[in-house]
Structure 1
Amino acid sequence: MSGRDGGPWRRRLERLAREFAKFGAVGGVGLLVDLGVFNLLCHFMDVPVVPGGIIATVVAIGFNYLGFRYFTYRERDKNRRSRELSLFLLFSAIGLVIQSGVLYVATSGFGWDSPLQSNAFKFLGIGIATVFRFWSYRTWVFQKLPPHGAGEAPEPFPDAPRVVTGSPGTHGSPSAHGPRGAHRAPGVHSAPGDRVT
């Protein structure tokens, strides 16, 4: 009963929670990739913080697409890959702007560019962008499959008996066939009052 299981709203929230958990699993590994590449570039190879953050995020975006496509949203529509990839890159780019914007304001605007500070604001930017990406990916990129048979026109009266025109010997008069589909022999005419079984 709906009173015991919480009804459709609870089931919907449970599905959303499972989806977010799988999204978070991929995003968590992507975060490690992002931060790993970021620290490698910025603190071991002396790449400036903002360019290094952009490069690291681009690498993580590539990893995340594979994880979302083949793990989080593997059961969703796969028929429009070019559209899917284009939208994924678009929304990922917007997320990149969010992340880089937070990092730029912190480092260039306030001078918070120590390893601890840059990592903290890199992490903050990722968190804000993740909320945006979760909403945009599930809504626009990895779309649900249409209901089974949605593209087929339903039969208007599936239980109605079929009417088939008679053979040439019956002068083209319609003949209603019963469940066994009985036919009259060619040349045999039905007299008034005859009953076809």
Structure 2
Amino acid sequence: MSATVTGDQPSSSGTRQGLFRTILNRFRHLIRELGKFGLVGGVAFGVDFAVFNVARQVWEMETLSAKTVSTVIAATIAFVGNRFWTWRHRERTGMAREYLLYFFFNTVGLAIALACLWISHYGLGSIWPGVFKSWLADNISANLIGAALGTLFRFWSYRRFVFVGPAAQDAPPVITKSD
């Protein structure tokens, strides 16, 4: 019996393990990219979180302005990490092109986080100001919900449009295993 990435169904537990390994081998590059993206994003998230809270508490900036400043700083750090580590194996299409597209998609990601923050702070905050106009509510809406939704969008858009497909020699092979 043969297990391939084309979808043959295994009939015993031994071939299921083979199918699992086949699938793992097929998506290893994606798992590796996702892990690196997550690590770079974790560092950028820490910077974003810290700058946002310093801007709000120490510099006494308005909520949406503080989030914009923190996101721009964090996005710059993330660009360097993603360009030169996460997707360093991918073809380069020009630093200016990648930088402009990266920041365009980061602007969309920022808009997602700002929308979550605006809905919480100003929308729900006008109804329940004691709950939704607090430091905790601002952090949950901007740095948890907004960041999660923005991150999903950014991973997809960076991979699809900014850091284009791998060079031919780096493309993952189609693996076929015969038992």
TM range (shorter): 0.7 to 0.9
Which among 132, 135, 140 is matched to residue 153 of structure 2?
132
Offset, 1:59:
0.6
Q: Which amino acid aligns with 2:151?
A: T
AA matched with 1:86: L
Structure 1 residues 118 and 29: alpha-carbon distance in aligned structure 2, compared to 1, 3 A threshold: same
Of 17, 41, 44, 2:58 maps to 44
Assess if the C-alpha contact under 8 Å between 2:105 and 2:157 holds in 1: yes
Answer with 1 or 2: which has the greater Rg. Answer: 1
More helix by share: 2
Q: Which of 130, 139, 146 is 1:119 aligned to?
A: 139
Q: Is the 8 A contact 1:42 1:49 kept in 2?
A: yes
Bigger mean CA offset, 105-114 vs 31-40? 105-114
Distance in 2 (alpha carbons) for counterparts of 1:26 and 1:64: 6
Tell me: CA distance 1:30–1:134, structure 2 relative to 1, closer, same or farther (3 Å).
same
1:43 and 1:115 in contact (8 A); partners too: no
Structure 2 residue runs without a partner (length 5+):
4-14, 126-131, 170-179
Q: Which residue of 2 aligns with 1:64?
A: 78
The amino acid that maps onto 2:61 is V
CA contact (8 A) 1:76 1:144 kept: yes
Q: Deviations over 1:90-146 (max 9, x none)?
A: 111111100111001100101112111111111210110000000000111011244
Alignment of 1:105 with 2:119, yes or no, is yes
State the SS of the aligned residue for 1:110: helix
2:90 aligned with 1:76 = yes
One of 110, 113, 116 as aligned partner of 1:96 = 110
Output the aligned Cα RMSD: 1.7
| Aligned 8 A contact 1:30 1:60 in 2 | yes
CA–CA separation in structure 2 for the residues paired with 1:99 and 1:30: 14
TM-score of the superposition, structure 1-length normalised?
0.70
Tell me the percent identity.
32
Structure 1 alignment gaps of length 5 or more: 149-197
